[in-house]
Structure 1
């Protein structure tokens, strides 16, 4: 029979297809199928010219998606017929000019092939701390400019030896065009400084001996330095806390492998999968009751932040130490993580006794990502190393939206860039009330604009004009003659959840449940426990928790007893308030401030409600040392109680505008239970159930009356798994589509994404 004639096609693949080994994957696939042609980069896409019989081209197109490299993320594939062209085999052609794609692959944990090589005594890279390939290793932390070529990374100072060069140039090799490629002959090297001098011999072996003996060391990672010590040593953990002035905030732990993980923690399949993901986040998991770990790693918490080794250096060190290590950001309390060699000695003086470092520069600071499993889904709490800056598609209806720069808010700051129908949410930058973080924020703005060649046509900011990010945005808009779009805080939270789930711009409004600390509302007061009617352009407040006065303003967010006093004064008769809860506190002064309206702004805050309940149950310190301390302790205690407990009641006043959720009945019942000796865990659980049920029930009713088919919920309080799971279950049972944060943080780390889509919608009129 005559041979089937060749057909020719041009295939354009868009998405995360650069720096992930996509072109050599295409080359190997073409070789296997006998396809002639070429593959090349075109700035923001990969273009394939393919010639083969039609059936083979169909198989080729299917395999491009089904067999794509693990780090690739294909957004679209366009295939069109072209005239037949001459070709001799299949080649990887030189990159052609094209628009720069707004994204680059995040840093990736060591792959199984490289890990096996490190452990193989016969391999050329045996025990080499900088082993990588196209499927793993540093990416965003080393790139300084695009396109992503070695000359544009911090690896440019390391010339390739002949053997590495041969691997780099061979399309059949897994290191083909792996820009960080290195080996012991030509790549970066480790050093260990201890007590002010460089130590001879194997740096890893010597560092392991020091850690086993109780030393505190700095360790240079991918996105910055960590401080490491023995996680099982109570004395050394206490000493680290003293030196860092970090009395109670949880410390992350790195474990050698899954066997060590399961010996120390109780983990389910979803948590194991999250820990083993190429992004290698810190995951919050339950520690075993008698695990040989320092009790002060996470005081008052039932969960521990754990991660697996994600660099060859981590694997080598954890194998040598053979015990879990504290692996916390290298900084002084409140300051950003140190990532530059020049800053580590002075910045950590008096904290660490030695530095395990290397000579590969870090281009930008990247804190570890943090996640937890809740409601059967992995939910990102902090977006950092391993996740940023992977772009995401904007929802349908935004393909032609103008480029926007959104600047987030004051805490957990992050920025968002949109262009070409995609959004790029930055890594975690920190709290802008810290001067050092302000400098990091300014640097990140310049860095992202230059790296991704972003030219915004509008600036989006929080409605609060006094946030530093808002002031910077106003100045940028004024200097560039650009529109400044101010977005209400909770509208941005809900819009972020909508956009993450691809809610189309023309699908209509959703009911939004926003639960967080505080954000400036449309009426000029502080909001934080709201039910909204939202589309991308506008939002309307339908209901809210009754506000309480925050005596001392921001001080009330740090001292939970102030919130408890305000709630109890509003709910109970004076003789029914348990005065013993406030022994030694300036109660007359606080009540006088509230009565006179002196620095006591009203706020409908879910965060302050949780703080107050923690104070009632003696779970909150007089003054919190980190955000969420009291609420996290409350959730941990509630998790020990029976899930079938009856919820505490809330009252709802439908005649108010907006509808008012009154917590007074809940407080009366909780105080009676507390006075009557009921277990704190049962009170805490009934409280969680009550909050979830009143907001769910009211949202269901409002969805019906406004014709909304979905409920979106977000805000920092939704990081609470007990609350989120019960809220989601009630809404789902009512037949509503539920949009909850997953890859975009529910806290203010996701706010810029919401601001960006709201601004885009307003600019396009959608």
Structure 2
């Protein structure tokens, strides 16, 4: 029997070769009909024998590599007769819900063309097809068609147009299709913006070999490149970029080159070679051919593989490939801005004329127990949606101040933005505002509720207040550490309740003090603070974060220790400030506890980037150390299960071991083990009181794999189910997802209110 069926496909089905796939499937089965894009995804009509239509519908479940099908719905239509199957024009009307693909690494077929002297795209740095290439960073609107991308200004030549319209070609309806005759053009420019003669790739490679620094325009912005084994070049890059210690990422040409730099596990190799191509944090090999200044004092190295044709042409040996900015600024992505901001850093600019619409940093991940643990979620992952509870209003969650992301959520989907950065910088705040507007247009979401951090001085909070007043929208404030635990719950599609352990640097507490070592009983609607680190002064406020030695003073270590002698000029004054409490707000932060121990052990008195002292303390710790300092939980005195952890006892144990002559790596190892044991002891106590058997671990401190392994291993041995992050970072980059999940859950049970002022 001949039937006609209407089909709607939702998900990531635009810009991934889905319409050509449908065309090929229908043609193979002898079906008539049509396929097209619209604001909601892909619409299809197929007509033919009913068994052929059934085979077609089953075949839709095996789509092209980059496609992600969320939903397929069908409806009967009256048969029309006729034959032939066509790709029809897009329909831009209707409600927007179509998803946009992430930027994908160059596929094997395009790489073969790139390297084939007989191919017309041989050596062309912008080769792409329906299975690979730029997507999110060039999309200006939906439906995903060439006029709605930054390729709109490049008219296809006859050869590219023939491929584009040929159903048998893999570039059939590939929107960024181009070639040397009609596409973007690569140039090498000097610091004044003048074009340099010669082949741009060869000239750039020669400059790098001679110790130069080259700004390279990538998919989401500019990188600064230098030869990774060249000590002088890496040192010059550090000096010019004003980045004293924070590790640089290294781009290696291939997997054999990576194995010379680091030890690889199968899960790490899979991430390195994935379509996302993130920076993967790996264990650095002894004697790796890298300048020490690439990652000073660090046992790990961040490595990524080429993900654009330009990278494949340029990278013949490991190159430092770090973000194109001066320290703490957002990455440059507009050509004029890059030339102005990077001219004192780069010796030349390897650039091109395809505009970048959205600035997007490289993603950073590491592997824990065979699973991905994100550190920064951006290029290659965004804008892939994440699941949140269905129901409730459309929410804009504005995130935190540092490592900011925002999140738009509606209909069970959460769109967590690319990494924005620290909102203390004006350029980053502007990028935040522009990003929110772009996401709202792209995904057709009009927020009905704004979620924000409780800190009244966060610029993200102020943005939420300003927008709420402008549009008369309700506000939902979410406590920082509750948002961390909620992010972990949403990441694992778990509603709670759980025992939540949130360890980080600082976050605004419900009582107005600075929290950071929190044990919560939490679900998505609320939380109870069941335990915390005993607060100590933060002498000098934010200054103590930049100068960890102040935390050693706050924890009362003896003035006879080396840390006190190194800072003798102001030690007594800082101790007095801490005792007086003026200019020394109390904090329960585990991050600051790590700072104190790092300073006591001589690891770091002052930092040049966030969390540096704790990072270096982890690096110097002996991972084979088996013993741990004892931990204690003191009753909070409220008659319930609540407790307070005397962190000063851990610091004193460190001091005692140091004075006894115990090696620093052993002391650091014992301290890490003690904090891990603390997590287990607290969870056991709360299980006895509540019956809860699931623990969620979140907060930036849990990026520390040594601590995370000790905590997870101990919790599992004690019979707990443990939730850790694997889709969004445990640091503040995941806060916006947690805020959105809480806002959706709360919206049905409590009224939203004004933000703090």
TM range (shorter): over 0.9
Higher mean C-alpha deviation, range 288-297 or range 699-708: 699-708
Residue 756 of structure 1: SS of its match in structure 2?
A: helix
> Is structure 2 residue 366 aligned with structure 1 residue 384?
no
Question: 1:85-100 to 2 correspondence within 5 Å?
Answer: 86=81, 88-96=83-91, 97-100=93-96
The 2-side partners of 1:423 and 1:575 are apart by 51
Q: Is the 8 A contact 2:12 2:99 kept in 1?
A: yes
Aligned to 2:584: 600
The 1-side partners of 2:260 and 2:667 are apart by 32
Q: CA 1:737–1:30 in structure 2 vs 1: closer, same or farther (change >3 Å)?
A: farther
Deviation by residue 1:457-481 (Cα, 9 ceiling, x = unmatched) = 0111101111111011101001111
Q: CA 1:652–1:195 in structure 2 vs 1: closer, same or farther (change >3 Å)?
A: closer
The 1-side partners of 2:67 and 2:178 are apart by 22
Aligned to 2:72: 77
Q: Is the 8 A contact 2:397 2:451 kept in 1?
A: yes
Higher mean C-alpha deviation, range 94-103 or range 400-409: 94-103
Aligned to 2:522: 534
Query: Could you tell me the TM-score, scaled by structure 1's length?
Result: 0.94
Question: 1:490-639 to 2 correspondence within 5 Å?
Answer: 490-504=481-495, 508-569=496-557, 582-620=566-604, 622-638=605-621
Deviation at 1:127, TM superposition (A): 0.4
Q: Is the 8 A contact 1:375 1:721 kept in 2?
A: no
Q: CA 1:78–1:739 in structure 2 vs 1: closer, same or farther (change >3 Å)?
A: farther
Q: CA 1:403–1:110 in structure 2 vs 1: closer, same or farther (change >3 Å)?
A: same
Aligned to 1:353: 347
Deviation by residue 1:717-766 (Cα, 9 ceiling, x = unmatched) = 11111122222222333443322111111111111111111111111229
Find the partner of 2:330 among 325, 330, 336: 336
Q: Is the 8 A contact 1:244 1:333 kept in 2?
A: yes
Find the partner of 2:448 among 450, 453, 457: 457
Deviation by residue 1:666-690 (Cα, 9 ceiling, x = unmatched) = 2332222212222222211111111
> Is structure 2 residue 252 aligned with structure 1 residue 255?
yes
> Is structure 2 residue 655 aligned with structure 1 residue 702?
no
> Is structure 2 residue 165 aligned with structure 1 residue 181?
no
Structure 2 residues not aligned, in runs of 5+: 751-757
Residue 477 of structure 2: SS of its match in structure 1?
A: strand
Aligned to 2:298: 301
Higher mean C-alpha deviation, range 226-235 or range 55-64: 55-64
Aligned to 1:283: 280
Structure 1 residues not aligned, in runs of 5+: none
Q: Is the 8 A contact 2:596 2:651 kept in 1?
A: no
Aligned to 2:311: 314
Aligned to 1:736: 720
Q: CA 1:148–1:45 in structure 2 vs 1: closer, same or farther (change >3 Å)?
A: closer
Residue 216 of structure 2: SS of its match in structure 1?
A: strand
Q: Is the 8 A contact 2:39 2:98 kept in 1?
A: no
Q: Is the 8 A contact 2:333 2:356 kept in 1?
A: yes
Q: Is the 8 A contact 2:700 2:732 kept in 1?
A: yes
The 2-side partners of 1:581 and 1:116 are apart by 62
Higher mean C-alpha deviation, range 203-212 or range 339-348: 339-348
Aligned to 2:104: 108
Aligned to 2:13: 17
> Is structure 2 residue 228 aligned with structure 1 residue 228?
no
Higher mean C-alpha deviation, range 697-706 or range 154-163: 697-706
The 2-side partners of 1:544 and 1:59 are apart by 59
Aligned to 1:649: 630
Deviation at 1:575, TM superposition (A): 8.2
Higher mean C-alpha deviation, range 72-81 or range 48-57: 48-57
Aligned to 2:34: 38
The 1-side partners of 2:291 and 2:498 are apart by 46
The 1-side partners of 2:720 and 2:49 are apart by 48
Find the partner of 2:393 among 402, 411, 414: 402
Question: 1:664-675 to 2 correspondence within 5 Å?
Answer: 664-675=648-659
Deviation at 1:55, TM superposition (A): 5.2
Deviation at 1:102, TM superposition (A): 6.1
Deviation at 1:341, TM superposition (A): 0.9
Aligned to 1:271: 268
Deviation at 1:166, TM superposition (A): 1.3
Higher mean C-alpha deviation, range 451-460 or range 229-238: 451-460
Q: CA 1:334–1:195 in structure 2 vs 1: closer, same or farther (change >3 Å)?
A: closer
The 2-side partners of 1:702 and 1:581 are apart by 42
The 2-side partners of 1:568 and 1:169 are apart by 74
The 2-side partners of 1:79 and 1:512 are apart by 43
Deviation at 1:57, TM superposition (A): 4.5
Residue 722 of structure 2: SS of its match in structure 1?
A: strand
Deviation at 1:391, TM superposition (A): 1.5
Find the partner of 2:367 among 368, 373, 376: 373
Question: 1:207-246 to 2 correspondence within 5 Å?
Answer: 207-246=204-243
Query: Could you tell me the TM-score, scaled by structure 2's length?
Result: 0.95
Deviation by residue 1:199-255 (Cα, 9 ceiling, x = unmatched) = 222110111111101111111111111111111000111111111111111111111
Question: 1:165-176 to 2 correspondence within 5 Å?
Answer: 165-176=161-172
Aligned to 1:438: 429
The 1-side partners of 2:121 and 2:500 are apart by 53
Higher mean C-alpha deviation, range 86-95 or range 473-482: 86-95
The 2-side partners of 1:681 and 1:509 are apart by 38
Residue 367 of structure 2: SS of its match in structure 1?
A: strand
Q: Is the 8 A contact 1:102 1:424 kept in 2?
A: no
The 1-side partners of 2:624 and 2:613 are apart by 21
The 1-side partners of 2:126 and 2:739 are apart by 39
Q: CA 1:581–1:276 in structure 2 vs 1: closer, same or farther (change >3 Å)?
A: farther
The 2-side partners of 1:160 and 1:281 are apart by 31
Deviation at 1:576, TM superposition (A): 8.4
Deviation at 1:488, TM superposition (A): 0.3
Higher mean C-alpha deviation, range 24-33 or range 714-723: 24-33
Higher mean C-alpha deviation, range 477-486 or range 169-178: 169-178
